[in-house]
Amino acid sequence: MFSSRFSQQPNVDIYFPTLEFTFLDKIMHNISEMPDYERFDSVFLSLAQQLRGGVPEMLDVIFEFLSRKTDFYSGAGVDQARTLLLEKFDKHGGKAMKEAEEAKKRKEEQEKKLAERRAAQKAKEEEEFRNSAAQVVELTDEEAAAFEREQLAKKKKEAAEEESPSSSEPPVEKKDGEEEESNLMKPNSGNGADLAKYQWTQTLQEVEVRVPINAGFAIKARDVVVKIEKTHVSVGLKNQPPILHGKLPAAIKVENCNWVIENGKAIVLTLEKINDMEWWNRLMDSDPAINTKEVKPENSKLSDLDGETRAMVEKMMYDQRQKEMGLPTSDEKKKHDMLQQFMKQHPEMDFSNAKIG
């Protein structure tokens, strides 16, 4: 039998009336079934954060406490103590496995829905492109490289002109929110920033945020709180102040965003931008800004792209070149050809006074 003996002071033992093993088991069972059982989470999380050995060390602390401050081992015998331990292990282990399976199913369903949405969006974009695409002159890799060099040289020239204004021009007042380049951070290798509590990288389409969690144990989904809204993000441990919290510099597509736990040690978020034609200069409004002029987009060759993507890029490059030469773009040429064909099919109509843009 267990006597439920606890020592509150050194060498001072307090004895309570002896409890039968089954009665103590019933008490422990009732406690574990209490609806507010999670009220102890902050206590155990605080303990776990102080133990660098993770779960094994935490178990050592708990059983060492039972051996010093209770008669868990000696009260009813080691065999009954082991039986009680295994019973509780099976009970909560089964619950944890069930929750993990349900979480896995939910994640698979979310990933399936996300894949379906992306496939539908891609099909829609491809259909729109096929409907609007006109005859495009296919460029070789050499022509594409030459075009890129021309655009780069043009941008450098424009930047040099902006940095060296005429002495007769009055100094330009800095707008609200603008910052001196000397005060800006240099982007990391992923075109983002490495900050004290998290790291973020970006492409034109997406932002990836990695938040390390130093909890002292392998975290799971039930241990964290992640909130992703259109212009706000919050990440942290339950019952703890958030590690990442604030307003984003631009809106995101919440339905296409997701987060995962990496090796039980970090939370990784993927945020899809609504405006996929701009670089973010910071993740949170309170973060230091990076110099977006030093952002280095990943280079790619036309030959590396799939057929439809390559056709789209070639069309954009063709239209850009046509605009620079004052010539109609592929869409404008298509409309013009359709109008000419219509005029030929209807010679009885007078188009002499028609204004054709």
Cβ atoms < 10 Å from Cβ of 176: 5
Regarding predicted confidence, which is higher, 140 or 287?
287
Decide if pLDDT at 47 tops 90: no
Please identify which residue in the block is written with the tokens 């030459």.
146
Please identify which residue in the block is written with the tokens 């939370």.
267
State how far the Cα of 229 lies from the Cα of 257, in Å rounded to an integer. 9
Check if the beta carbon of residue 217 is closer than 8 Å to that of residue 234. Answer: no
Task: Just give the CATH number of 183-296.
Answer: 2.60.40.790
Band of residue 10 on the pLDDT scale cut at 50, 70, 90: very low
In sequence order, what are the residues at sequence separation of 6 or more whose Cβ sits closer than 8 angstroms to the Cβ of residue 169? none
Q: How much is the pLDDT for 303?
A: 60
DSSP 3-state assignment of 38?
helix
Q: What is the DSSP letter of 171?
A: P
Decide if pLDDT at 142 tops 50: yes
Check if the beta carbon of residue 14 is closer than 8 Å to that of residue 5. Answer: yes
* Beta-sheet strand order (sheet of 232-237): 224-228, 232-237, 244-247
Q: What residue type is assigned to position 97 of the chain?
A: M
End-to-end CA distance of the chain: 97
Mean pLDDT across the chain: 78
Q: How much is the pLDDT for 180?
A: 65
Would you call 158 exposed, middle or buried from its count of C-beta atoms within 10 A (0-12, 13-18, 19+)? exposed
Regarding predicted confidence, which is higher, 198 or 27?
198
Q: What tokens does 13 get? A: 């033992």
Closest CA to 253 of 223, 237, 276: 276
Decide if pLDDT at 259 tops 80: yes
Q: How much is the pLDDT for 133?
A: 53
Question: Kind of pairing, strands 232-237 and 258-262?
Answer: unpaired
Q: What is the pLDDT of residues 81-124, one digit of tens each?
A: 889 889 989 988 888 898 888 888 888 888 888 888 888 888 87
Q: How much is the pLDDT for 176?
A: 45
9-23, 55-69, 179-193: segment of lowest average pLDDT: 9-23
Decide if pLDDT at 12 tops 70: no
**Half-sphere exposure of 284 toward its Cβ, with a 13 Å CA cutoff?**
17
Q: Rg of the chain over CA atoms, in angstroms?
A: 33
Check if the beta carbon of residue 329 is closer than 8 Å to that of residue 319. Answer: yes
For the chain, the residue count is: 357
Hey, which residues does 262 pair with through a beta bridge? 266
Decide if pLDDT at 317 tops 70: yes
Q: How much is the pLDDT for 280?
A: 94
Check if the beta carbon of residue 293 is closer than 8 Å to that of residue 287. Answer: no
| Mean predicted confidence (pLDDT) in 275-291 | 91
- Write the DSSP string, 39-103: GGHHHHHHHHHH-TTHHHHHHHHHHHHHHHHS-TTTSS-HHHHHHHHHHHHHHHHHHHHHHHHHH
Helix (H) or strand (E) holding 119: helix 78-132
Band of residue 143 on the pLDDT scale cut at 50, 70, 90: low
Q: What tokens does 19 get? A: 């409890």
Q: How much is the pLDDT for 126?
A: 76
Q: What tokens does 205 get? A: 């389409």
What residue ranges of the chain are covered by domains with CATH 2.60.40.790?
183-296
Please identify which residue in the block is written with the tokens 């009954």.
80
Closest CA to 307 of 177, 170, 181, 130: 130
In sequence order, what are the residues at sequence separation of 6 or more whose Cβ sits closer than 8 angstroms to the Cβ of residue 161? none
Decide if pLDDT at 1 tops 60: no
